Amino acid sequence: MTEETIFSKIIRQEIPTPLLYQDDLVTAFRDISPQAPCHILVIPNKLIATVNDVTEDDELTLGRMITVAKKLAKEEGISDDGYRLIMNCNDHGGQEVYHIHMHLVGGHKLGPMLKR
Are the beta carbons of 28 and 72 closer than 8 angstroms? yes
Burial of 85 (0-12, 13-18, 19+ CB in 10 A): middle
Residue of 99, 101, 103, 108 marked catalytic: 101
Q: Is 101 a catalytic residue?
A: yes
d(CA 112, CA 116): 10
Annotated catalytic residues are 101
